Amino acid sequence: MARGAQFLERQTYRRRRMIDGARLLPVIGAIAFVMPILWRTDTTPGASTAHGGLYLFAIWFGLILAAFALSRRLRNVAGDGRVED
């Protein structure tokens, strides 16, 4: 892998963006999971366990799906590990 090359093969470029996605996913997940903290303002009624649970599980399964999609593309990259950037 030529480091510092400015223009990459299309495939390599896509793969790197996939890696970026894999790195971003936990950040998105963390923000979404912590979001319920913001709900507890006085203006809105206390969120119910049922609705909160639905929200959390929705995020959860969404993350699982996204991770599934990413892992299918990154599975083989993980083996050689040369693609760092």
Partner 1 sequence: MVPFKILVLVCLAYVIFLFLVAFVVENRARQGRARWLRAPIVYTLSLSIYCTAWTFYGAVGYAARSGLEFLTIYLGPTLVFVGWWWVLRKLVRIGKAQRVTSIADLISSRYGKSNLLGVIVTLLAVAGTTPYIALQLQSISLSFAVFAAETRPGWALPGRDATALWVAGGLVIFTILFGTRNLDANEQHHGIVTAIAVEAVVKLVALLAVGIFVVWVLADGPRGVFDLIEATDVAEWRLQPGRWAGLTFLSAAAILCLPRMFQVMVVENADERHLATASWAFPLYLALMSLFVVPIAVVGLLTMPEGSNPDLFVLTLPLSAGRGDLAMLAFLGGFSSATSMVIVAAIALATMVSNHIVVPLWLRMARVAGEVAPAAGYAGDVRRLVLRARRASIAGVLALGYAYFHFTGGSSALAAIGLIAFVGVAQALPALIGGIFWRGASRNGAAVGLCLGFGIWIYALFLPSFGPDGVIPADVMINGPFGIGWLRPQALFGSEGMDPLLHALFWSLLLNSGAFCLVSIFSFPTPLERLQGAQFVNVFDRAGGTRGWAHGVAEAEDLLVMAQRILGGDAAQGFFHAEAAAQGKAGFLPDTTPEFIEALERRLSASVGAATAHAMVGQIVGGSMISVEDLMAVANETAQIMEYSSRLEAKSEELIRTARQLREANEKLTKLSVQKDAFLSQISHELRTPMTSIRAFSEILRDGADLPLADRHKYAGIIQEEAIRLTRLLDDLLDLSVLENGQVTLHSTSANLHDLIDSALRSAGATAAGRDFAILRDPASEHVGLTTDTDRLTQVFINLVSNARKYCDAAHPELRIRVTERGADVEVDFIDNGSGIGKENQALIFEKFARLTDQTRAGGAGLGLAICREVMSKLGGTIAYLPGQGGAAFRVRLPRRRILPRGGSVAPGAHGAGQGPVAAQG
Give the binding site for partner 1 (CB under 8 A). Answer: 19, 22-23, 25-27, 29-30, 33-34, 36-37, 39-40, 46-50, 52-53, 56-57, 60-61, 63-68, 70-72, 74-76, 78-82, 84
Q: How far is the CB of 7 from partner 1 (least distance, A)?
A: 22
**How many of the other CB atoms lie within 10 Å of CB of 5?**
9
Least CB distance from residue 34 to partner 1, whole Å? 6
Strand (E) or helix (H) holding 69 = helix 49-80
Q: Please say which residue, 13 or 61, places its beta carbon nearer to partner 1.
A: 61
Residue type, 41: T
Task: Closer to partner 1 by CB, 10 or 40: give it.
Answer: 40
For residues 14 and 4, give the distance between their C-alpha atoms in angstroms, rounded to a whole number: 17
